[in-house]
Amino acid sequence: MRLVFLGPPGAGKGTQARELAHAWGVAHVATGDILREALAAGTSLGLEAKRYMDRGALVPDDVIIDLMRERLAAPDAAQGFIVDGFPRTIAQAEGLERLLEDLGQPLERVVYFEVSEPELLRRLTGRRVCRACQTAFHMVSAPPRSPGVCDRCGGELYQREDDSEATVRHRLGVYARQTAPLLDWYRGRGLLVSVPGEGPIETIRGAIRGAAAAARA
CB atoms closer than 10 angstroms to residue 205: 16
Which stretches of 96-164 are assigned E, i.e. beta strand? 109-114, 127-130, 136-138, 157-158
How are strands ordered across the β-sheet holding 157-158? 136-138, 127-130, 157-158
| Alpha-carbon distances, residue 2 vs 87, 108, 157 (angstroms) | 14, 5, 41
Beta-carbon contacts of residue 198 (< 8 Å; ≥ 6 apart): 115, 116, 119, 204
Which listed residue (171, 187, 205, 209) is catalytic?
A: 171
160 catalytic per annotation: yes
> 3-state DSSP call for residue 6?
strand
Element (H, E) at 122: helix 117-125
> 3-state DSSP call for residue 165?
helix
Q: What is the dihedral of CA 80, 77, 93, 86, to 10 degrees?
A: 100
169 catalytic per annotation: no
Which listed residue (18, 69, 122, 127) is catalytic?
A: 127
Q: How far apart are CA 67 and CA 72, in angstroms?
A: 9
Which listed residue (18, 50, 69, 88) is catalytic?
A: 88
Cβ atoms of 15 and 119 closer than 8 Å: no
> 3-state DSSP call for residue 170?
helix
88 catalytic per annotation: yes
50 catalytic per annotation: no
13 catalytic per annotation: yes
Q: Please identify every residue annotated as catalytic.
A: 13, 88, 127, 160, 171
